[in-house]
Amino acid sequence: MTLSVIILAAGQGKRMKSDLPKVLQPLAGRPLLGHVLDTAKSLQPHAIHVVYGHGGEAVKQAFAGETAQSAQGQPHDPSSGLIGASQPQTNWVLQAEQLGTGHAVAQAIPSVPDDHMVLVLYGDVPLIRRDTLQQLIAQASANALGLLTVILRDPTGYGRIVRDTGGSVARIVEHKDANTKERSIAEGNTGVLAAQAGHLRRWLGNLRNDNAQAEYYLTDVILMAVKDGVRINTVIAATEHEVLGVNDKVQLAEVETALRKERATQLMLQGVTLADPSRLDIRGAVTAGRDVFIDVGVVFTGNVHLGDRVHVGANCWIKDASIGADTEIHPHSVIDEAVVGKRCVIGPFGRLRPGARLHDEVHIGNFVEVKKSELGEGSKANHLTYIGDATIGRHVNVGAGTVTVNYDGVNKWPTLIEDGAFIGSGTMLVAPVKIGANANTGAGSTITADAPAGKLTLGRARQVVIDSWERPKRAAPKPKK
């Protein structure tokens, strides 16, 4: 059976007290809705229909690049049991008035063929798991509806699952409409369900809004399904956090904590040692080799790979980077879109900007910045240095306070330093410039022309002493009248 996904993402999120639409609130560096879209795409559906409202164009624009309509008919995931596309078509459906969850689904259902299986998700429920949804879909068929429920410590605010004497689901009652007995039920409705589109279309057409909220509840289709003889098969979520809807900043922090713990646990199961799992942020995907150690306060974003025995010091920020085996990153270092070889040393307070590439055994020390440059094996820049748009050979020593002067106000110019060169402290390398193999530059030099291989090149102004000079003195303060 072909799968279509409907994601409800029209809520305003007044309790967020933010100008940002609720589904664009950030969780681990990605909007809430982005997490749901990623999970939906992993199921390889035929299409994803996002029902949006508040924030309108801002919500669409935030995902313009990743939800572009794509070709259908690609190979599907056999484990899902459903035909779909590896890159599903995404449609945006406007819910101009927010009249309830049933009304929201009704806006998208006209685009779904009757024989499709519909999975309903929520843009503010970001931690829903792929394997849970696969179990739910497996419980749905032409004669059965799959319903995701959860056992709650405090079910206040949730719709309750009312079962008959045989244990089958009879109906769902919303909290505001529930009586005292019904409110004592611990099993809550998550709102996530899977049903055949033809059935769902008919049930949505029969919804009424005669309830405490004067809204069209999607939950009312459960009673209609029971009356039509359609079985209600339930799947119970493993944890409350998996199905927690985010309505305010407190709940946003709660799911952030849960996601942080989950990702830290995954790393530790890979064999990574974490100084404190609660003080690690993973805002992307991290893979790691054996015997990796990560200290406190580290943030990973994008795709990061850590080789065997990498040591990451406290309070480092690493984005879209590959770090080679046995490399040590000292505290407070920043690595952004860089490639680092084996047995390198970076920091403390080192910074690798996009395009930096370090070969094996390179040392980048405290307050050294490298941008769009390549450093060969065994080269070092240990102190207070800027290296930009440079190619540096093997076993080069770059002295403290060296600057590649690469920008003339309009264009960036390259610097080439060949193998074995020694750059004296305080050298200004005015690009474009080449320093030959095994050349030396004298400390404090400004190098504006190529320095020949194997020679010492100096570029200092002549030192002058002015004997008649006197330090300026402040005028004596005038007496107060």
Q: Which one of 54, 305, 332, 383 is the catalytic residue?
A: 383
Handedness of CA 32, 37, 42, 43 (dihedral sign): positive
322 vs 305: CA distance, rounded Å: 5
Contact 17, 52 (CB under 8 A): no
Rounded to whole angstroms, the Cα distance separating 295 from 478 reads 59
At 176, list the tokens: 């505001």
| Nearest of 408, 447, 412, 449 to residue 426 by alpha carbon | 447
- Distances from the Cα of 13 to the Cαs of 18, 55, 80, 315, 465, in angstroms? 8, 10, 33, 33, 70
State yes or no: is 76 an active-site residue.
no
Residue 374 is encoded by which pair of tokens?
Answer: 């390549």
174: closest CA among 130, 212, 129, 127? 212
> Residue 42 contacts by C-beta under 8 Å, 6 or more apart in sequence?
130
Given a contact cutoff of 8 angstroms between Cβ atoms, the answer to whether 340 and 346 are in contact is: yes
**Residues with a known catalytic role:** 383
